[in-house]
Amino acid sequence: MGTYGFHGLHGRAIATAQGVKMRRPDLHVFVNTGDGDCCSIGTAHWIHAIRMNMDITVMLHDNSVYGLTKMQVSPTSPVGLRTNTTPRGAYLKPINPLVTTLGVVNVSFAAQVGEWIPDLLYDVINKAYHHKGFSFIRILQRCPHFMDNFFQDAISNPNNVLLLTHKDGLKVGDTIGKLYKNQMEHDPSDIHRARELASMEDKIPMGIFYRNDSIPRYEDIRKPRHINSAEQIDRTLTKAFDKFGISPVTSEVVK
């Protein structure tokens, strides 16, 4: 199809992207998904996509609520959040998508950033794009209608944010560095330290947590010997369909 992109079924965006990448490995494939679909109905696709490590960039827009469908509790909603499905407040502690990603075998890239820092967001997406493998970015994002003040503490006080810097990770510019002075050098090849930082609760860590370019990619492992053209596919299908016909009298299949 001659298009730049399309919508998939709710929770199936990653699976759709994998199909595109397998058939067209030359394309740069990006996925936009939310905490509701990725971390609930799409969890199996998300987990196995990490394991398969196909070269796609996944941006999880995590606003901790089902905003589009009018404020239901999501897997990342904080305890006590009152929603239309939890009028007395959410009961369960939320999952941490970054911690989950870092716990899956074959993970090769994991990052976290806030949408209210656009320069940092751009740099993280750029790093993810150039990574060869499954790049997962958790974007901490406000829902302007239902959760507009959710990250207000971090927005109003930059000291509540911890920037992870490294020569092989994120390099913070002067403008961002002057505002966000709380910085820590973190080697993104250290997965154990990455998991510890991802579990941090007293501050919001942002940056490249883990990167490993040596993990095999599924599209390379399962690369077909040759890729059929659209004309070849059409001829094959037509030849198969021509073996059958529909009787105009009985509507039975005639071989």
**pLDDT by residue, tens only, the chain of 255 residues:** 678 888 888 889 999 999 999 888 889 999 999 998 999 999 999 999 999 999 999 999 999 888 877 888 889 888 988 888 889 988 999 999 999 999 999 999 999 999 999 999 999 999 999 999 999 999 999 888 887 788 889 999 999 999 999 998 898 988 899 999 999 999 999 999 999 999 999 999 999 999 999 999 999 888 777 777 888 888 988 888 888 776 666 666 566
The CATH number of whichever domain residue 158 belongs to comes to 3.40.50
Enter the pTM of the model.
0.86
Q: What does the CA dihedral 172, 175, 179, 183 come to, rounded to 10 degrees?
A: 20
Q: What is the pLDDT of residues 157-206, one digit of tens each?
A: 999 999 999 998 898 988 899 999 999 999 999 999 999 999 999 999 99
* Whole-number Å distance between alpha carbons of 248 and 239: 21
Q: By residue range, what is the domain housing residue 164?
A: 13-221
The answer to whether the beta carbons of residues 207 and 170 sit under 8 Å apart is yes
Residue 209 lies inside a defined structural domain of this protein = yes
- 3-state SS assignment for residue 119: helix
- Residue 237: how many CB atoms within 10 A of its CB? 10
CA-atom Rg of the chain in angstroms: 22
Whether 87 maps to a domain, the answer reads yes
Domain count of the chain? 1
Is 128 contained in some domain? yes
CB 211 within 8 A of CB 131: yes
